[in-house]
């Protein structure tokens, strides 16, 4: 591992949040705490190239004590992958050189970082996209040869992630983007080996995982983000029952997933009737793999939408429930999103018991790389 052996977060935490600051390991990845920076699309990479300000943006969060940074979604080398011109690429000498500087800055700050590899699929909309003459693609429009090209593009990106010194990688398999589109019957009408029954619908994702695993090596941690919801339907259900969820995940685990990043809008809500387990808790129970919980962590979510509309901050919430679920072993890692936009030092502040210094989430934080 190329990262520094010390980390700003390797300090004793106040007892109230102690479980969040225990070390965690998976494969060759060693983390000083359980707190992850969630991937958040920022659109601050002109022409798809992350510049010095992007490197400093991530390094500030490493200095602020984040155990693991997952980059914003960064698109693979396929003409229809990117949903916007300023979303970063993970291909091309210029973009990869930019990511090398990001890795160097984060490691110099003592942090760990993995890229999230992404293909937007049918969510590529409008004219503000690279190669606007290229139509969006989805399960119904990709030939088997096209699928092979996309799989190869993910494999190349995985190899580049390792070559550039990243500490692992994550595949974006949630939120209704391309991987997720193959998993859902409502967006995958295929009747060949990539559609139809559940086994067919999981084949594309499993092939991507296997390609990335082969390209990056078997000691390189591979995370997969999943979700029930999609960007166009917050009420969507990837799996209606725990049994269906297990059948969907099993081929992906067999292909080589190490950690499942379980994206929800509110981490504390029960996922299925008859149990108070959230999505991350169910996935860990069903698969035995480490999981990441995410969804309004540390944020008074009841105020979030009105706060955005009114241009004001949303209050910081108690972490008691989060700590209780971590102690119960419902999940292994916790991803924090919006609060880390407003407050790069949020992790260090909760570690040290400096709650009075916490900054509330502000809509202005969405508009710049602070």
Q: Let me know: does 252 contact 222? Beta carbons within 8 Å.
A: no
Query: Among 57, 58, 177, 194, which one carries the catalytic annotation?
Result: 177
| Whether 36 contacts 333, CB under 8 Å | yes
Question: How far is C-alpha 274 from the geometric centre of its chain's CA atoms?
Answer: 28
Q: Residue written as tokens 């390792």?
A: 162
Which parts of the chain are beta strand (E)?
A: 24-26, 29-31, 35-37, 68-75, 113-118, 169-172, 222-227, 259-263, 291-294, 333-336
Token pair belonging to 193: 């080996």
58 included as an active-site residue: no
Q: Which two tokens stand for residue 284?
A: 């860990």
> φ and ψ at 281, to 5 degrees?
-65, -45
Alpha-carbon distance of 97 to 59, in angstroms, equals 16
Question: Which residues are designated catalytic?
Answer: 177
């Amino acid at each position: 591992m190329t990262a520094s052996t010390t980390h700003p977060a390797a300090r004793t935490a106040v007892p109230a949040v102690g479980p969040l600051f225990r070390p965690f390991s998976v494969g060759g990845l060693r983390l000083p705490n359980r707190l992850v920076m969630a991937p958040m699309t920022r659109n601050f990479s002109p022409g798809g190239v992350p510049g010095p300000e992007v490197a400093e943006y991530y390094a500030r969060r490493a200095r602020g004590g984040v155990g693991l940074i997952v980059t914003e979604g960064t698109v693979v080398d396929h003409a229809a992958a990117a949903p916007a011109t300023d979303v970063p690429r993970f291909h091309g000498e210029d973009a990869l050189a930019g990511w090398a500087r990001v890795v160097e800055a984060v490691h110099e700050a003592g942090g760990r970082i993995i890229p999230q590899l992404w293909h937007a699929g049918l969510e590529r909309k409008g004219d503000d996209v690279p190669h606007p003459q290229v139509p969006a693609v989805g399960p119904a429009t990709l030939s088997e040869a096209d699928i092979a090209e996309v799989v190869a593009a993910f494999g190349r990106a995985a190899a580049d992630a390792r070559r550039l010194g990243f500490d692992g990688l994550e595949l974006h398999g949630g939120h209704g983007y391309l991987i997720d589109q193959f998993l859902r019957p409502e967006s995958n009408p295929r009747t060949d080996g990539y559609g139809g029954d559940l086994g067919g619908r999981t084949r594309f994702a499993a092939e991507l995982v296997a390609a990335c695993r082969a390209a990056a090596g078997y000691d390189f941690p591979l995370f997969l983000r999943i979700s029930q919801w999609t960007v166009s339907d917050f009420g969507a259900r990837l799996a209606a029952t725990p049994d269906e969820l297990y059948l969907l995940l099993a081929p992906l685990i067999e292909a080589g997933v190490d950690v499942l990043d379980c994206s929800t809008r509110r981490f504390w809500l029960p996922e299925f009737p008859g149990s108070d387990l959230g999505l991350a808790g169910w996935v860990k129970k069903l698969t035995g793999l480490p999981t990441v919980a995410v969804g309004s962590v540390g944020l008074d979510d009841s105020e979030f939408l009105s706060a955005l509309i009114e241009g004001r901050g949303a209050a910081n919430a108690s972490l008691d429930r989060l700590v209780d679920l971590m102690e119960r072993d419902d999940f292994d890692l916790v991803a924090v999103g919006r609060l880390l936009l407003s407050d790069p030092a949020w992790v260090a502040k909760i570690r040290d018991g400096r709650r009075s210094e916490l900054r509330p989430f502000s809509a202005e934080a969405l508009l710049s790389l602070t």
